[in-house]
């Protein structure tokens, strides 16, 4: 079974790391049988599963519930659970309660967005025996500060600051860092500057691994197809067609057919 220390080894060996998000046991069961290295129970579940317009609506209870479901479906995979909006900004005790809930739900590690104001907490979590993944660039919990889901680190100064942030996350003990929606050359520089691996989304190929939201990869939402998320299936169409076929069969009485139910002649009592 793969584990958190493998991340460092994979980067050292030049082996690309694969990660997808997952939120439910049924999908996790499929992923458990796949070759994917790791699963992220991302706070994107607030948007993808619960229909909110940002990840600000994710809660510790929400992520813990999804983490427990994913762990039941994927007993053999490395699972990383997101610390949701503000759960790590209300003091150490509240943050550690959140970490405790996510780890007890079945995570192997937690992920935490941004560097500023988080270094001491990251050190404390790591010193408590819990691996931490950092997250820089377009950190969606800050969508309101960014004024939308926009590419980050576009200026030289912002790129330099992000590289410094990444180094500080490594020093604080993070075992890897997610880089989201930053220019490819900046992602390459971060990857070069760190010993720990970078996992990219919308950052090009020069990172240590890639992560995609599983619903994007599977083509579950016809109305949302970001440029960076390659669609490997078109499940929105497949599911829609399957349900339409089912409805047509029910209406024409083609379903259920012989063999899809039991029949037993019961003689009426005389």
CA distances, 253 to each of 246, 248, 263 (Å): 10, 8, 16
Q: By C-beta, is 174 or 211 nearer to ligand KIV? A: 211
Tell whether residue 215 is a contact of ligand KIV (CB under 6 A).
no
**Among residues 27, 38, 44, 118, the one that binds ligand KIV under rule CB under 6 A:** 44
d(CA 226, CA 109): 27
Instruction: Name the minimum Å distance from CB 66 to ligand KIV.
Output: 11
Instruction: Name the minimum Å distance from CB 152 to ligand KIV.
Output: 13
Tell whether residue 201 is a contact of ligand KIV (CB under 6 A).
yes
The region of 39-47, 156-164, 190-198, 255-263 touching ligand KIV under the rule CB under 6 A is 39-47
Tell whether residue 67 is a contact of ligand KIV (CB under 6 A).
no
Eight-state DSSP code of residue 83:
P
Tell whether residue 21 is a contact of ligand KIV (CB under 6 A).
yes
Residue nearest to ligand KIV (CB): 42
Q: By C-beta, is 86 or 250 nearer to ligand KIV? A: 86
253's CB contacts (< 8 A; 6+ apart) are none
Tell whether residue 27 is a contact of ligand KIV (CB under 6 A).
no
Instruction: Name the minimum Å distance from CB 14 to ligand KIV.
Output: 22
Number of CB atoms found within 10 A of residue 28's CB: 23
CA distances, 40 to each of 45, 208, 244 (Å): 10, 16, 32
User: Active site residue: 123, 164, 180, 206, which one?
Assistant: 180
Question: Taking a C-beta distance cutoff of 8 angstroms, is the pair 200, 176 a contact?
Answer: no
Tell whether residue 43 is a contact of ligand KIV (CB under 6 A).
yes
Tell whether residue 141 is a contact of ligand KIV (CB under 6 A).
no
Tell whether residue 102 is a contact of ligand KIV (CB under 6 A).
no
Token pair 């070069």 in the structure block, residue? 192
**Among residues 211, 215, 216, 220, the one that binds ligand KIV under rule CB under 6 A:** 211
Question: Taking a C-beta distance cutoff of 8 angstroms, is the pair 24, 66 a contact?
Answer: yes
Q: Half-sphere exposure of 187 toward its Cβ, with a 13 Å CA cutoff?
A: 28
Q: Is 93 a catalytic residue?
A: no
Structure tokens that stand for 146 in this block: 């960014």
Structure tokens that stand for 79 in this block: 């699972």
Question: Taking a C-beta distance cutoff of 8 angstroms, is the pair 115, 89 a contact?
Answer: no
Instruction: Using CB under 6 A, list all residues that contact ligand KIV.
Output: 21, 40, 42-44, 82, 178, 180, 201, 211, 213
């Amino acid at each position: 079974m793969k584990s958190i220390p493998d991340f460092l080894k994979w980067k050292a060996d030049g082996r690309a790391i694969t990660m997808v998000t997952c939120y439910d046991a049924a999908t996790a069961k499929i992923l458990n049988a796949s070759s994917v290295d790791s699963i992220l129970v991302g706070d994107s579940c607030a948007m993808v599963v619960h229909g909110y317009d940002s990840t600000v609506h994710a809660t510790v209870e929400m992520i813990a519930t999804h983490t427990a479901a994913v762990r039941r479906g994927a007993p053999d995979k490395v699972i990383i659970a997101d610390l949701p909006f503000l759960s790590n900004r209300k003091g150490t005790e509240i943050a550690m309660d959140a970490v405790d809930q996510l780890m007890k739900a079945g995570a192997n590690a937690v992920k935490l967005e941004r560097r500023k104001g988080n270094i001491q907490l990251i050190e404390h979590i790591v010193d408590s025996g819990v691996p931490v993944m950092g997250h820089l660039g377009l950190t969606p919990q800050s969508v309101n500060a960014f004024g939308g889901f926009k590419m980050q680190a576009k200026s030289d100064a912002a790129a330099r600051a992000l590289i410094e942030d990444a180094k500080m996350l490594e020093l604080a003990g993070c075992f890897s860092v997610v880089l989201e929606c930053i220019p490819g050359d900046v992602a390459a520089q971060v990857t070069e500057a760190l010993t720990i691996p970078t996992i990219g989304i919308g950052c090009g190929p020069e990172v240590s691994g890639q992560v995609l939201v599983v619903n994007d990869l599977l083509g579950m939402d016809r109305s949302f197809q970001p440029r960076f998320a390659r669609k490997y299936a078109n499940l929105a169409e497949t599911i829609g067609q399957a349900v339409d076929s089912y409805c047509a069969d029910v209406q024409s009485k083609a379903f259920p057919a012989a063999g899809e139910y039991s029949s037993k002649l019961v003689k009426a009592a005389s």
